[in-house]
Amino acid sequence: MLKNESSTARDRALDDPRPALPPIDVEEFRKVVRSRRSIRRFTDEEVPGRILDDCLELAMLAPNSSNLQPWEFYVVSTPAIKQRLAEACLGQNAARTAPVLIGIVARTNTWRANSQRNLDEWPEEKRPGIVEKYYSRIAPLHYNQGPLGLFGLAKKAAGLAVGLRRPVPRGPYSPCEMKVWAAKSTALAAENLMLAARAHGFDSCPMEGFDDHRVRKILGVPRDGIVIMVLALGRRAENGVYNRQYRFAPEDFIRRL
């Protein structure tokens, strides 16, 4: 469960014992993955707070770039705000009927503060030198694009030259690439959230069909935030699934080298 907001990563990590890897039943995992569907109609049943908190905590255990955790979750259950948000989601049934809507937002400007937090909240007694170097020197160079993205351009040019001789990182070297950078990690958290809800017996619908301008305003998303999706969350109604699930043939998408 989410602990009190002021606890640091270190407090939280020290609370955790380090258990041996638990046995895992892949069939239980398969059940969660296979029974997740995009649900377009929900019942009126509320999602209990402790379940919502657990889903959010599991979402934030998603792998993420350099552990910089560039995500935010705007949990909307206040009816009046939810109604406005549902309208901004183009009045979709999933948004209108869900008891909770979550704006899942990627941030491109929190990496600096979160680099410092990685140093401050390192979960072991001693911080390895490489960690110190990464968050105090490498990350500030790597993620900083400078005014008008000019530093990013310079890094890209340097990378092109050095890259002729050896492998080099090729980005993120522009504000636009920073958006992709933040979106990758945040989308992984979104998937964790959906699977966690399913494991708790609840369901979801990810939505990108929304008026971005209005959604940002309703949620109060900062300028550097990108609304990756709005997630509808609740108990699936009997008519919540619109069609059978299908995917194209796996071999059309898998390249084996």
Ligand X SMILES: Cc1cc2nc3c(=O)[nH]c(=O)nc-3n(C[C@H](O)[C@H](O)[C@H](O)COP(=O)(O)O)c2cc1C
Does residue number 208 form part of the binding site for ligand X (CB under 6 A)? yes
Window of 125-133, 150-158, 173-181, 202-210 that interacts with ligand X by CB under 6 A:
202-210
H, E, C per residue of 198-255 = HHCCCEEEEECCCCHHHHHHHHCCCCCEEEEEEEEEECECCCCCCCCCCCCCHHHCCC
CB of 187 to ligand X, least distance (A): 8
Q: Which is nearer to ligand X, 40 or 155 (CB)?
A: 40
Q: Which is nearer to ligand X, 93 or 115 (CB)?
A: 93
Q: Which is nearer to ligand X, 101 or 205 (CB)?
A: 205
Does residue number 205 form part of the binding site for ligand X (CB under 6 A)? yes
Does residue number 183 form part of the binding site for ligand X (CB under 6 A)? no
Q: Of all helices (H) and strands (E), which one includes residue 110?
A: none
Does residue number 182 form part of the binding site for ligand X (CB under 6 A)? no
Window of 32-40, 76-84, 110-118, 174-182 that interacts with ligand X by CB under 6 A:
32-40
Residue nearest to ligand X (CB): 209
Of residues 236-255, those binding ligand X (CB under 6 A): 245
> Using CA atoms, how far apart are residues 64 and 47, in angstroms rounded to an integer?
27
Does residue number 206 form part of the binding site for ligand X (CB under 6 A)? yes
Quickly list H helices, the chain. Answer: 9-15, 26-35, 49-59, 79-88, 93-97, 111-120, 129-133, 139-142, 150-162, 175-199, 212-219
CB of 166 to ligand X, least distance (A): 36
> Using CA atoms, how far apart are residues 252 and 248, in angstroms rounded to an integer?
7
Q: What are the tokens at 219?
A: 């949620």
Does residue number 195 form part of the binding site for ligand X (CB under 6 A)? no
Window of 25-33, 107-115, 159-167, 205-213 that interacts with ligand X by CB under 6 A:
205-213
39 three-state secondary structure: coil
Give every CB contact of residue 38 below 8 A, 6+ residues apart in sequence.
94, 204, 205, 206
Of residues 76-95, those binding ligand X (CB under 6 A): 92, 94
Q: Which of 187, 193, 201 is nearest to 234 (CA)?
A: 201
Tell me which residues touch ligand X (CB under 6 A). Answer: 37-38, 40, 92, 94, 205-209, 229, 245
